[in-house]
Amino acid sequence: MSPPEISEDEQRRIDEELWKSLTMLSQIFPGKELNIYNSTTPDLDQEERRVLHALHCFAALSVRSFEVVAASVGEQTAARLSLLICKTNDVDTAESGVLPTATYSVAKNTVQDPSRATDEITYQTVGNPNLPLDEHGERNINYIMANKWLMSWEEHISFLAYFRNYASQANTPQAKELFIRYCLLAQAPKNDARLCKTPLAKRNISFLHVIKGITGSDVGSFKIASLPYPGDLITDPITALNFLTMTDLENIHALLDFEPFRALRLTLLSAVAGSESPGTTVLTSTQQATLAAELWELFQHCLITTEETYSTILQANKKQRRTRKKPVKIVLPTATLVEEANAILFRISDFLTHALYQSKWLEWLLTEHVSKSLADAIRVLLDKSDNDTDASDLTEPYIQGDEDCEVNDTSTLGTSQTVLASKVLAYVKLAYCTQIQAEEVLKHGELFKNLEVHIVTCPHVEGRCTPWKDAIYEAYKLAGRENPKETAAARIAKIEHLCVNGTEEDQLRLKFANPELPWKFTGAVHCECQLASELVKKAKAATSGKVPEISEVVDRSISRYIGPSKRCCPMCSIILNAISGEADGPEIPILFQHSQPFPSALPPNLPRSIRQRAIRQLSMNLCRALNNFYIRSRTGSHGSQQSHAVAPETKARAKVSWNADNDKGKF
């Protein structure tokens, strides 16, 4: 007697629950040493990269602290550009069972998508924000941010679109600078984490701590052995201008005259920067080393001053711990405090943006002149961390908005001087990337006077998922392995054995196998996959000829170009590639990708063919990782191979000039 047929709805539920379990297992068994999740991104032409990079920049600017966001192009006309933007639901929100929706009052024309079987997906057009006026009845960026410091994410999106439109319509340097200043202030929580808490190799090793530990005296003792150009440092007018251009010298001179930098005693650098004819200055070898040391101290002070500014402004709004006797007290930063932070953050960002992207001296300092000291200091901290860290410290800290994966690389192999120095340079670029991203958004949006933003909500995801043992059995079955039942049983038995009898590290990593602990999904639909599923729906409606009669907001086209705020995880890459593999389906290019799996849910209502293609690919990858884990465990080498399994996470270029007339932030 044949088994009863499974309905489409039941099959969808089975697929979605299996996918959730497979992604959870893939995070625990990433198989990084097997290069399972190599990038499959096709070659993109220059125009595609330009569009994707602009979308990535806008999505990155949409992040204030913990959010993960993706953006896609909707309708565009000669005067208007429409963007669809989606935010991955917070893990704690998903666990609470509360349906997250963008309900802030700036969102108007909320439209339920009637082609959905549920009411989970809505499109909301973001309107203009409410701009509080200061005591003089003026719109002042410092007063606005002081009053809106704890704004919701949806409100931040409305301000972001408003200031971008203002910059485009006014088309003045002051208006464009205002957009950059807003972005710098709004992203202070995220950039504080980038600057102060970026780890290396799963250890809380701060690059900022490493940089602060190398003194100017240390750098002054280094011999200048290599230069970014042929010749001697500032002994020839031509090579001098190649190294420190007139713009560099003007920027340095202006920065040294800025209040937080006036106390620095950088005598030689001040003299060279303030000279009327610096190209004719001839320096001895000792003076050349001194100049390099003073450039290092100036760079150091930029980072330290930024750190102190973040600490001051973010400390002002920290919530006190709730007790039975005390309610939560929220202290907002004052307009004066915001104004001071505004001036400092913009001045330093402006200086370092030019130094990083339009000059050579800072890259030379980090990757050549001071690279050995940087690498040595990082290696010492890595060795100390390996000796001091027990199994309970092996969880990877939650990093806010880490678009880069080179900086947060979990590899322990890339510890050469060149690699580590390059990581430090990438870290500095990440910590100060807000201005360059804002400039990219302004540059690519020059053709459009108006930017419309539509928020696409992510659906709530239930915690129910396939039991982990059943998921492993199903993975081996789908992967087409020989004797799948017996092979899966051997892997399961090894996991259960090490969960009880393994090392402390084994027990921590494999604690999910404890029958007394729940196996529950706590992730979400990732934002780029949600936008991609909307694209699938549009393509399906177009080929069937049954375009739903829905609002103009929902009916606008969605592009195949999707720019996430951070690099695309392997689970998303599998889904996007499965969608691209459909006959006559849209090919979705992936600009950034990394190799660390994260739990995710399938976006709702994907066609069965796409679901099956994605699940089969993930099953094959997971089986390879489990096989490698099994072999290592039998040879006794698994304990020293950190990459075979990881503990689940604790929680899921145009120059802009300083304008003295705009210090107060009026517009």
The Cα 215–Cα 195 span in angstroms is 19
The Cα 102–Cα 85 span in angstroms is 11
The Cα 257–Cα 347 span in angstroms is 11
Please tell me which of 63-72, 104-113, 376-385 the model is most confident about, judged by mean pLDDT: 63-72
Triad 563, 406, 408: Cα angle to 5°: 100
The more confidently predicted of residues 413 and 588 is 588
Question: Whats the size of the chain, residue-wise?
Answer: 667
Say how many C-beta atoms besides its own lie within 10 A of residue 481's C-beta: 18
The H or E element containing residue 450 is strand 450-456
Letter for the amino acid at 587?
A: E
The H or E element containing residue 303 is helix 285-315
Q: What is the mean pLDDT of the chain?
A: 79
Give me the sign of the Cα torsion angle 328, 334, 337, 341. Answer: positive
φ/ψ region of 636 (left if φ > 0, alpha if ψ in -120 to 50, else beta) reads: left
The Cα 404–Cα 427 span in angstroms is 8
% of the chain residues with pLDDT over 90: 45
Q: Write the CB contacts of 578 (distance below 8 Å, at least 6 apart in sequence).
A: 610, 611, 613, 614, 617
Give me the sign of the Cα torsion angle 591, 87, 430, 160. Answer: positive
Nearest to 472 by CA among 453, 503, 494, 443: 494
Say how many C-beta atoms besides its own lie within 10 A of residue 543's C-beta: 10
- C-alpha distances out from residue 192 to 265, 298, 307, Å: 27, 20, 7
Position 432 pLDDT exceeds 90 = yes
Kindly report, residue by residue over 251-279, the tens digit of the pLDDT: 999 999 999 999 999 999 998 888 766 55
Residue that is written with structure tokens 């489990």 in the block: 626
Mean pLDDT on 432-438:
96
What is the 3 state secondary structure string of 32-90?
HHHCCCCCCCCCCCHHHHHHHHHHHHHHHHCCCCCCCEEEEEEEECCCEEEEEEEECCC
Nearest to 341 by CA among 94, 663, 6: 663
Q: Write the DSSP assignment of 336-368 as a string of letters.
A: HHHHHHHHHHHHHHHHHHHHHHS-SHHHHIIII
**What strands lie across the sheet with 562-564, from one edge to the other?**
107-112, 122-126, 450-456, 80-87, 69-76, 562-564
Confidence of residue 665 (pLDDT cuts 50, 70, 90): very low
DSSP structural state of residue 392: G
- CB distance 214 to 370 below 8 Å: yes
Residue that is written with structure tokens 């004819």 in the block: 277
Q: Which residues pair with residue 125 across a beta bridge?
A: 108, 454
Position 187 pLDDT exceeds 50 = yes
pLDDT of amino acid 354: 96
Token pair belonging to 507: 């027990």
Q: At what angle do helices 417-431 and 285-315 cross, to 10 degrees?
A: 50
Position 160 pLDDT exceeds 80 = yes
Give me the sign of the Cα torsion angle 628, 629, 632, 634. Answer: negative
pLDDT of amino acid 377: 92
Letter for the amino acid at 579?
A: I
Lowest mean pLDDT among 61-70, 300-309, 531-540, 638-647: 638-647
Residue that is written with structure tokens 């913009």 in the block: 346
Kindly report, residue by residue over 521-533, the tens digit of the pLDDT: 988 999 999 999 8
Helix and strand totals (H; E) in the chain: 25, 6
The more confidently predicted of residues 100 and 614 is 614
Nearest to 593 by CA among 606, 580, 617, 576: 576
Mean pLDDT on 431-443:
95
Task: Name the residue ranges covered by the structural domains of the chain.
Answer: 215-367
Cα distance from N-terminal residue to C-terminal residue, the chain? 77
Kindly report, residue by residue over 104-125, the tens digit of the pLDDT: 333 333 444 444 444 456 788 8
- C-alpha distances out from residue 183 to 4, 161, 439, Å: 57, 11, 10
pLDDT of amino acid 287: 82
Token pair belonging to 657: 């000039």
Residue that is written with structure tokens 């802030």 in the block: 104
The Cα 255–Cα 311 span in angstroms is 21
Q: Which residues pair with residue 123 across a beta bridge?
A: 111, 456
